[in-house]
Amino acid sequence: MKQQGKSRYGILMLLFIATVLFMMIPERKAEAATKKLASVTAVYTGDTVLVGNSIDLKKLTVMGLYSDGSYAKVKDYSLSTYMVEKAGTNTITVLCDGVTATFHVEGKAISVMSAYYEDAYVTVGQPLDLKKVKLYVFYSDGSGEYVTDFILSNTYVNKIGENEFSVFYEGQTAKLYVTGKDVKKPYMIYVNYYGGTVIVGNAPKREDFYVSVLYTDNSIEEITGYEITPSVIQKEGSNTVVISYGELSKEVKIYGISKTVVGITAEYVGLPVVIGKTVDTKDIKVTATFNDGSKDTVTNFTLSGSMIYEIGDNIIGVFCGGAMTYINVRGVEAEIIDYDNGSEGFIRNGDDYSWIKIAVGKKVKPEFVSITKLDNALVKKAMNRIVKTDKYLTFKVSLADPELDNNLPMTVKVTVPKGYDKKNFAVLYTPNNKTIMAEMNGEFLKDGSYEFKMFQPGTYIIADCTPLIFVETLVFEEEELTLKVGRNYSLEPVIRPHEATNKKVEYSSTRPQIVSVDENGMLTAHAKGTAIIRVEAKDGSGKSCKLRVKVER
């Protein structure tokens, strides 16, 4: 009985507590409903603002004190004005839920503008260099600065003597004076030759000439756009060479000598050669030293024999002009091509893909030769050294045992990725992912695939070596644009050449509070003032252009 009494007592207590909590809920809701904004304070931490421009809302902090004693940041408010309307102190009112507060923003106006040009003279008919136009603005608060987003009434010097230009900035005008000088004309040419003797049939080096011109204004400058006649040395002994620039010319004497070889060095840069095949002379680099001490690569050499007879080292003599040296060419056993007994691999990068088959030969099991896809980023630097392209696939061929090198070369067949230009197609080999060691000599088969000999395991690159076309010019058709507050405008910069590979651009605004621009080039005018819109090409060419946008009410 006592136990039953305790249970009933516990149940009654729980019911009592639940009733009390239920009755308190409306009171708490009522308390929350009666919470009101009692007062607000506003603090502006921005710099002095030019009259006619809007304040920076990111520098404005509005805090609210509520009836329950809490203190929090207010975001939903309005201002009596967003613009600075006068020089000195501007009092602006903040309004939120019927409660107001004021804060102060210091305004400044343009007092004086002073403009000058850095150069003393500019030739008539030539444009001003805008980087040399200096506009200094003095403000009513005593501060000053050089500004660059100004507009000139004209950019060309039209007459000799004083030329007057108007410089416009934020509705103000300053005068700029530039002295024009007469168009200079070549009057006399001076030529000095600092080179030595030149081999007959060769051209004298342009860097061995110092050519300067005296102009009608008595100025002298070095020139490089001259002509050399004849362009090559014609005979042994003294040769008369004429240096011409426009209607001016000057003769110089250059001594010619016959070209004789006194020594050679040779290097074999090709791949191992299959027994019974001949060495390709294109894979032999021969450098000759001549009797004047100069060196040059020559192709008029002969070999003691070009056929490869032995596996391993084959010593071949190289002859040129009575000089001789040796090269060593590695001979390898002929390969039997059988793709049925071979290794296969599939590599893909986005929409580009290729099937790779390697005929490993009868002595090697297919599983001992592996084909692995690699990240293109590993060979990006190596590719950039030979061609600017973004169309390539990278794979690695590995042998399970170093002894398998004795079974090289092996024949490899790769499918050409869709969209790759066969005229610029290549398979490249890199031993270290940093430099391209060789382009694999191969041929296209009837099925459209490409077949070549693999003499070394390592990293291979299937590439479309068509070079990227960079942006050469990026301009706006208009130089200045005027918009009304609240209006939009779509920018369409002109990109040349039209065939540029990557036409993506990036937009930015110097004053987004005046005029903002999105990633698609859509302008939105927010407040009265002026902003500079900049567009930059994203293909790495560094090309960019600017547009001045003026917003009116």
pLDDT digits 0-9 by tens, 162-201: 999 999 999 899 999 999 988 878 889 999 999 988 888 8
Tell me, what amino acid is at 235? K
385 within a domain of the structure (yes/no): yes
pLDDT digits (tens, 9 = 90+) for 501-540: 788 999 999 999 999 999 999 999 999 999 999 999 988 8
Give the other-Cβ count within 10 Å of 460's Cβ: 25
Mean pLDDT across 270-293: 90
pLDDT surpassing 60 at residue 3: no
C-alpha closest to that of 483 among 549, 532, 531: 549
**Do 447 and 398 lie in a common domain?**
yes
The last residue of one of the domains, among 332, 362, 377, is: 332
2 within a domain of the structure (yes/no): no
Mean pLDDT across 273-297: 90
> What six digits make up the tokens of 500?
């540029």
Query: 2-11, 80-89, 440-449 — which is least confidently predicted?
Result: 2-11
C-alpha closest to that of 261 among 199, 196, 323: 323
**Do 89 and 124 lie in a common domain?**
no
**Do 128 and 102 lie in a common domain?**
no
Query: 37-41, 141-145, 162-166, 405-409 — which is least confidently predicted?
Result: 405-409
C-alpha closest to that of 302 among 273, 329, 279: 279
446 within a domain of the structure (yes/no): yes
CA distances from 520 to 54, 362, 365, 492, 504 (A): 25, 60, 56, 9, 10
**Do 459 and 354 lie in a common domain?**
yes
163 within a domain of the structure (yes/no): yes
**Do 243 and 352 lie in a common domain?**
no
Mean pLDDT across 46-70: 93
**Do 347 and 433 lie in a common domain?**
yes
Distance of CA 361 to the CA centre of its chain: 46
**Do 229 and 314 lie in a common domain?**
no
| 3-class SS of residue 422 | helix
22 within a domain of the structure (yes/no): no
Mean pLDDT across 128-148: 93
**Do 291 and 238 lie in a common domain?**
no
Query: 62-71, 184-193, 334-343, 524-533 — which is least confidently predicted?
Result: 334-343
pLDDT of residue 341: 81
Check which CATH number belongs to the domain holding 545 and give it. Answer: 2.60.40.1080
4 within a domain of the structure (yes/no): no
Check which CATH number belongs to the domain holding 165 and give it. Answer: 2.60.40
pLDDT digits (tens, 9 = 90+) for 483-494: 999 999 999 999
pLDDT category at 2 given cuts 50, 70, 90 is very low
494 within a domain of the structure (yes/no): yes
Domain with 423 in it: 339-464
Which residues fall within 8 angstroms of residue 196, CB to CB, at 6 or more apart? 255, 292
Distance of CA 518 to the CA centre of its chain: 22
More reliable by pLDDT, 21 or 101 = 101
**Do 421 and 350 lie in a common domain?**
yes
310 within a domain of the structure (yes/no): yes
- DSSP collapsed to 3 states, 341-359: HEEEEEEEECCEEEEEEEE
pTM for the full predicted model:
0.35
pLDDT surpassing 60 at residue 5: no
Distance of CA 217 to the CA centre of its chain: 42
Check which CATH number belongs to the domain holding 289 and give it. Answer: 2.60.40.3630
E-assigned strands of 22-143? 37-44, 49-50, 60-66, 71-73, 78-79, 88-96, 99-108, 110-117, 121-123, 133-139
**Do 376 and 491 lie in a common domain?**
no
pLDDT of residue 291: 83
pLDDT category at 17 given cuts 50, 70, 90 is low
**Do 460 and 346 lie in a common domain?**
yes
The last residue of one of the domains, among 181, 209, 228, is: 181
The last residue of one of the domains, among 92, 108, 124, is: 108
pLDDT of residue 547: 93
d(CA 244, CA 65): 86
pLDDT digits (tens, 9 = 90+) for 352-385: 999 999 999 888 999 999 999 999 999 999 998 8
pLDDT of residue 258: 87
Q: How far apart are the first and last CA of the chain?
A: 89
pLDDT of residue 333: 79
Report the domain count for the chain. 6
**Do 344 and 460 lie in a common domain?**
yes
Contact 532, 515 (CB under 8 A): no
pLDDT digits (tens, 9 = 90+) for 84-137: 999 999 999 999 999 999 999 999 999 999 999 999 889 888 899 999 999 999
Q: What's the chain's average pLDDT?
A: 89
